[in-house]
Amino acid sequence: MVISESISNDNSAGFGALLATLRALRDPVTGCPWDLEQTHQTLRGTLIEETYEALEALASGEASALVEELGDLLLQVVLSAQIGADEGTFNIGDVIDFLNRKLVRRHPHVFGDAQARTASEGIGHWERMKAVERADKGQTDKSMLDGVPKAMPALAYGNAVLGRARRAGFDWDDPDAIFDKIGEELRELAAEESAARKEEEFGDVLLAAVGAAVRMGIDPEQALSGANARFYGRFTHVERAVRDSGTTLAAMPTVDKLALWDAAKDAQQTSG
């Protein structure tokens, strides 16, 4: 198979130019030795790294950084497609065609006669079409959760599976019930004496918190990243204050450390 030459856009260095660049990098005679050594498997680590860098750029709010990191992420897709083309298994045209047909099929409210007045109704159509696809493949017994990679980080995995379950209608009738559930899980954790069971109960607490995030439309990964950043800022503030006082954290009375923490929190809120 040969990558389509016709894919392009109005930019001076459009998609077609990018494809030509990748073909040159993978040329067996004049290409780059590193690019020629790459396989789908060797790119796995880079794909994960570039994904996180793109997420970091997204969180920064800097458009130029996001443009750069999305470009690096796109490189992973195009390079894998070029490897596929070199092996004769698939090409970038196959990737684009498959994606486009899937998008059209899963949006019957846009490209068909179905109706969707809200985002949740639109997601409902998406999930129903996925169920149809599973049935067409003879996978009627397959869970809708099976499509979420179990190798994902636990927080992201919990967010994904709880989100899918909620879109399928597995949700609380009372919007505040999730907070009662968190309280219930916390009480069970506090009452547990077995170390092994404490770990289970703590996991239930975390999952209930992720469920609350899903319910409120909060990205738990981003929320935790923000909390980590705030803790770092406050703790380093405390460290500086302790050093200036001529003592150490270990030697300082708890009441004084808490006072420094509150001061750090106030300073952070004022500057933020």
Which residue, 198, 218, 238, sits at the end of a domain? 218
Q: What is the CATH number of the domain that holds 26?
A: 1.10.287.1080
CA dihedral sign of residues 104, 110, 112, 118: positive
The answer to whether residues 78 and 158 belong to one domain is no
Per-residue confidence band for 148, with pLDDT thresholds at 50, 70 and 90: confident
* pLDDT, averaged across the chain: 89
Asked, for residue 66, whether it belongs to a domain, the answer is yes
Among candidates 124, 151, 145, 119, which has minimal Cα distance to 48?
A: 151
Among 36-45, 118-127, 195-204, 219-228, the minimum mean pLDDT is found in: 118-127
How crowded is residue 166: how many other Cβ atoms within 10 Å of its Cβ?
16
The reported pLDDT for the residue numbered 120 is 81
In 10 A of CB 177, how many CB atoms?
13
Residue 99 resides in a domain: yes
**Where in the sequence is the domain holding 149, given as residue range(s)?**
143-218
Say whether both 94 and 76 belong to one domain: yes
Q: What is the pLDDT of residues 29-53, one digit of tens each?
A: 999 999 999 999 999 889 989 998 9
| Lowest mean pLDDT segment, chosen from 3-17, 118-132, 166-180, 199-213 | 3-17
Q: Which of 70, 75, 221 is nearest to 152 (CA)?
A: 221
Q: Tell me how far apart the alpha carbons of residues 2 and 85 are, in angstroms, rounded to a whole number.
A: 6
* Residue 7 CB-density burial (10 A; 0-12 exposed, 13-18 middle, 19+ buried): middle
Q: How does residue 169 score in pLDDT terms, banded at 50, 70 and 90? A: confident
Residue 7 lies in a domain: no
Q: What pLDDT does residue 78 have?
A: 97
Q: Which among 56, 78, 105 is the end of a domain?
A: 105
pLDDT at 87 over 90: yes
Contacts 24+ apart (CB under 8 A), 124-132: 124/167, 126/167, 127/164, 127/167, 127/168, 129/105, 130/106
pLDDT (mean) for 174-198: 93
Residue 169 located in a structural domain: yes
Clarify whether residues 100 and 19 are in a common domain: yes
Instruction: Give a yes or no: residue 157 inside a domain.
Output: yes
Name the domain count of the chain: 3
Residues 56 and 32 grouped into a single domain: yes
Determine the pLDDT at residue 7. Answer: 40
User: Looking at residue 222, what is its pLDDT?
Assistant: 85
Nearest to 165 by CA among 135, 144, 181: 144
Give residue for tokens 């990558």: 3
User: In 3D, which of 80, 68, 1, 4 has the Cα closest to residue 35?
Assistant: 80
